[in-house]
Amino acid sequence: MINQWIAVAAGGSLGALCRFAVANYWLVPVAGRLPLATIFVNLLGSALMGFIYVLIVEEQWFNPEWRNVLMAGFLGAFTTFSTFSLEALSLWQNQNHELALLYIALNVVGSLLCVFLGAQLAMKII
């Protein structure tokens, strides 16, 4: 059981570091604009979640232990619902209503579409 905790922690620390790097070095936020870093990590993370789910859970290409490292750990920390929620609220409170609604739609609908496309891609590769 302790190994599962270590697996999630290891994956989570890498995922958090990658998200931090995207938001602070690659897609640095600009006040009053779409928070591109959060959109990027949520869409990419969703696509990877669908892809990895098919490979590990459905097709059993990898040991199920990798689910803890990659899905619960890495992708759980890489993607971010709490940051998305705060940024959406901030856009709304700053009277950027259209931008806030676009941001919400891109994250929610986009993430659902990306998890579906990631799973479809994995099934086509197999």
Break the chain into its structural domains and give their ranges. 2-125
CB atoms within 10 A of CB 4: 14
15 is in an annotated binding site: no
**How high is the pLDDT of residue 126?**
87
Phi, psi torsion values for 65, nearest 5 degrees = -60, -30
What share of the chain has pLDDT > 90, as a percent? Answer: 92
32 is in an annotated binding site: no
Q: What is the pLDDT of residues 16-34, one digit of tens each?
A: 999 999 999 999 999 889 9
CB 111 within 8 A of CB 42: yes
What is d(CA 3, CA 72) in angstroms, rounded to the nearest whole number?
A: 14
The predicted model scores a pTM of: 0.92
